[in-house]
A and B are shown apart, each in its own frame.
Chain A
Amino acid sequence: MSSLDAELAGDLASHDLIPPHAHGRRGFWREARWPARIAALVVGALALIALLGAWITPHDPDAVDLAIRLQPADAAHWLGTDHLGRDILSRLMAGATMSLGSVALAMALILTAGVILGGTAGFAGGRVDQMIMRVADVFLTFPTIVMALFMVGVLGVGLTNVIIAIAVTHWAWYARMVRGIVLSLRRRDFIAASRLAGASPTQTFIRHLLPATMAQLLVLATLDIGHIMLHVSGLSFLGLGVSAPTAEWGVMIADAREYVWTEPLLMFWPGLALFISVMALNTLGDALRDRLDPSLRAEHGH
């Protein structure tokens, strides 16, 4: 099975890993259609807010002032205040740091684990490959949310543990993909040349195999990141992630539950922020995929 697979994958890889049209850096922007451009702008703005977060919020996101609780929107508080009189806009901005930061961290963990384990499996082959991939298979038999719930149960409640749990539930997909690409390339002459020139396996992997996986990894990561964001916020909505006073979108929705019938806007804003972010990331991922890797055009979902 594997030789045919490898041949097929190699065939795909040799055609598609090179972008169809190698333009300059501005190529993506010029070619992208307007939804992709808007998505890129939104993601850029979100990243900026997430990075500057603490410095640009109009109010202290955690400042409690019961005298002005549940105020409607006005000039001072553009989106009103919540049940403890905290400014909702400020909390949304501070929440961006938490939400996007935790997702970025989870993604970094997933990519690291996926590249190391998948790369080792593909490059070392043999028994190591068998072992790593069998473990990956077991992890793939768990439904994502169930596995994440279980990992939080093992590690305890908290944002760090939610991030680890998400990484544990997702690495296997990435490891499988990296392994497939490495398998398709490792018998090529340039790899043999690199080894003959005296490069260690690790060096060869980093120098010659890793770059080949980057395009597909980037595409998979951008398509997945919105999904992961929904998982993280779902877990914090259940109260398993960030603890109460910290601003995070999932927690803000959970906090607003008691007031959902009387003050529905309290729950509306953080959900909208989450929705827009995920949608922007998904749209950007679609555009990147169409550009970098047309072979992946089949719908992606798990």
Chain B
Amino acid sequence: MSALAAKNRDTEDLNVRARRRRDWTMAGFIVRRLLLLPVMLLAASVVIFLMLRLGPSDPALDYLRLSRVPPTPQALDEARRALGLDLPLITQYADWLWKALRLDFGQSYVTSRPVLPDLLHYLPATLQLAGAALVITLAISAPLGVWAARYRNGLPDQIVRLIAAIGVSMPNFWLGFLLALLFAVHLGWLPAMGRDGWRTLIMPAAAISFMTLSINARLLRASMLEAAGQRHVTWARLRGLSPRAVERSHVLRNALLPVITATGMYVGELIGGALVIESIFGWPGVGRYAVSAIFNRDYPVIQCFTLLMVAIFVICNLIVDIIYAWADPRVRLAAEGAP
């Protein structure tokens, strides 16, 4: 009796220790990934900077054009000096980086206002839209994928396959118009324009998420079928667990892992979709601001906008990786070395 109790205590102790060690390695994993973050952003900033400087056009010329100064040689020289374009590339980059580290991304050539505050003013609307699209994607694709996998090659599977085939082929901006025509003009259920509460959020978010939810539903179906072929699933079935219980606790849990990874990939797609869709629904996000900056060749805005989007994308992927590591015991335990 006492020997058993002692053994129990021992295993408990081991469990606690294992959990502690696991928390610690998770922390280590997160710290390592966090340390990688500035490196990636730095690399991205170098690419952005080099491409803008080595691109075919002369920023000084665009600067003068946008400030409506006739481009005489003298004015051009002055603009070059003012923008620091006469310095060596490395000096320019160091200069830019030093300012960027203090969150100074320069001023817009058009409005002469600091770039970052303007972008941050529009950013929440875009993030809200992309976030809503992500929620719709997950909420709809999960049941669709499970349904399709449950009735493999049956009618539900065919229906989901058809929906997915349509979803990945439909231009999101066209879908946006179709939704607006149906729900705003014909049925009058939803407002067609603006950003005013959740009712204005539905249509643009739905238009963005159709493609990603299609991809996700198919992916979940495929990974569920793959997970269902594992031996431990056969074992669970042999033990007499109900099909639903097997599906829930043995198939779905494993099948979600690839889906988590894919979520990181299509966060970029959702942000990109938001940038395009905003213009249709009059959504006051960064998309329109960025597009007008591209038309005007307003370099500081383009530069800051791109870096900001990359930062958001990279951070989202970091979060996804952490969730993945947390959800997959193999990653979690591999970090501890051999068990």
Are A and B subunits of one complex? yes
Taking beta carbons and an 8 Å cutoff, which residues of A are in contact with B? Answer: 134, 137-139, 141-147, 149-157, 226-227, 230, 233-234, 237-240, 250, 253, 257, 260-261, 264, 267-268, 271, 274-275, 278-279, 282-283, 297-299, 301-302
Report which of B169, B174, B268 forms a contact with A144, defined as CB distance below 8 A.
B268
**Which residues of B sit under 8 angstroms from A153, Cβ to Cβ?**
293-294, 297, 299, 302, 306
- Contact between chains at B313 and A143 (CB < 8 Å): yes
Which of B9-17, B86-94, B227-235, B269-277 binds A?
B269-277
B47–A253 CB distance below 8 A? no
How far does the Cβ of A3 sit from chain B's closest Cβ, in whole Å? 18
* Per-residue interface assignment for chain B, residues 47 to 81, with 1 indicating a CB less than 8 Å from any chain A CB and 0 otherwise: 11001100111000000000000000000000000
Residues in B with CB closer than 8 Å to A253 are 171, 173-174, 177
User: Which partner residue on chain B sits nearest A227 by CB separation?
Assistant: B168
- Please measure, in the bound complex, the distance between the C-alpha atom of A238 and the C-alpha atom of B275, giving whole angstroms: 10
A219 to chain B, nearest CB (A): 16
- Give chain B interface residues in 259-273, CB to chain A under 8 Å: 262, 265-269, 271-273
Contact call A146/B47, Cβ cutoff below 8 A: no
Q: Which residues of B contact A (CB under 8 A)?
A: 40, 43-44, 47-48, 51-52, 55-57, 165-166, 168-174, 177-178, 180-181, 185, 215, 218-219, 222, 262, 265-269, 271-273, 275-276, 279-280, 290-291, 293-295, 297, 299, 302, 305-306, 309-310, 313-314
A contact residues around B173 at 8 Å (CB): 234, 237, 253
Instruction: Find the B residue at minimum CB distance from A297.
Output: B222
Chain B: minimal CB distance from A12 (Å):
16
A275 interface neighbour in B48, B170, B218, Cβ under 8 Å: B170
How far is the CB of A25 from the nearest CB of chain B, in Å?
27
Chain A residue numbers with a CB within 8 Å of B279 are: 238
Across-interface contacts of A260 in B (CB, < 8 A): 177, 180-181
Whether the Cβ atoms of A234 and B172 lie closer than 8 Å is: yes
- CB <8 Å contact, A138 and B302: no
Which one of B170, B222, B262, B313 lies within 8 Å of A142 (CB-CB)?
B313
B171 pairs with A143, CB closer than 8 A:
no
Q: Is the CB of A146 within 8 A of B174?
A: no
* B297-A226 in contact (CB<8A): no
Dominant SS among interface residues on chain B: helix
User: A143 contacts B174, CB within 8 Å?
Assistant: no
Question: With a CB–CB cut-off of 8 A, which chain A residues contact B302?
Answer: 150, 153-154
Cβ-neighbour of B52 out of A154, A250, A279 (below 8 A):
A154
Interchain residue pairs A-B with the least CB separation, the first 5:
A145-B272, A143-B268, A271-B174, A279-B169, A153-B302
A271 to B181 CA separation, bound complex (whole angstroms) = 14
For residue B19, give the distance in angstroms from its CB to the closest CB of chain A: 29
Smallest Cβ-Cβ distance to A298: which chain B residue:
B222
Q: List 8 A-B contacts (CB under 8 A).
A: A138-B47, A143-B269, A144-B269, A145-B276, A146-B313, A149-B290, A240-B295, A257-B280
Interface contact tally, CB-CB below 8 A: 151
Contact of A240 among B51, B52, B268, B294 (CB under 8 A): B294
CA separation between A301 and B141, bound complex, in Å? 15
Q: Given known contacts A146-B272, A150-B306, is B262 in contact with A301 (CB within 8 Å)?
A: yes
Decide if B171 touches A234 in the complex (CB within 8 Å). yes
Tell whether, in the assembled complex, residue B168 and residue A282 are in contact, meaning their CB atoms are under 8 Å apart: yes
Chain A residue nearest to B162 in the complex (CB)? A35
Tell me which residues across on chain B come within 8 A of A156, comparing CB atoms. Answer: 56-57, 297
Residues in A whose Cβ lies below 8 Å from that of B314 = 141
Q: Which residue of B lies closest to A135 (CB)?
A: B47
Q: Is the CB of A230 within 8 A of B291?
A: no
Q: Is A155 touching B215 in the complex (CB atoms < 8 A)?
A: no
- B48 close to A230 (CB less than 8 A): no
**Bound: A140/B320 CA distance, A:** 16
Contact in complex: B40, A141 (CB < 8 Å): yes
> B181 contacts A264, CB within 8 Å?
yes
Apart from A147-B306, A150-B48, A156-B297, what 18 extra A-B contacts exist at CB < 8 Å?
A141-B40, A141-B314, A142-B309, A146-B272, A152-B294, A154-B302, A156-B57, A157-B294, A237-B171, A237-B276, A239-B295, A250-B171, A275-B170, A275-B171, A278-B171, A299-B215, A299-B219, A301-B265
Q: Is the CB of A275 within 8 A of B294?
A: no
Which residues from chain A contact B180 at a C-beta distance below 8 Å?
A: 260
Find chain B residues with CB under 8 A from A155 CB.
55-56
Please name all residues of chain A whose beta carbon is closer than 8 Å to the beta carbon of B168 when the two chains form the complex. 226-227, 278, 282, 301
A282 pairs with B181, CB closer than 8 A: no
User: Which residues does chain A contribute within 8 Å of B262, judged by CB atoms?
Assistant: 301
Q: Which of B215, B275, B297 contacts A149 (CB 8 A)?
A: B275
Contact B171 A230 (CB under 8 A): yes
Residues of B within 8 A of A240 (CB): 291, 294-295
Beyond A141-B313, A142-B310, A146-B306, is A301–B276 a contact (Cβ under 8 Å)? no
B309 near A146: Cβ-Cβ < 8 Å: yes
A258, chain B: closest CB distance, angstroms: 12
- The interface residues of chain B lying within 8 Å CB-to-CB of A226 are 168-169
Report Cα–Cα, A297/B218, bound state, in Å: 11
Q: Do A279 and B166 touch (CB < 8 A)?
A: yes
| Residue from A143, A271, A275, A282 within 8 A of B272 (CB atoms) | A143
Chain B residues lying within 8 Å of A145, measured Cβ to Cβ, are 268-269, 271-273, 275-276
Residues of A within 8 A of B218 (CB): 299
Task: Judge whether B276 and A238 touch: CB under 8 Å.
Answer: yes
The answer to whether A271 and B171 have CB atoms under 8 Å apart is yes
In Å, the complex CA distance between A164 and B215 comes to 27
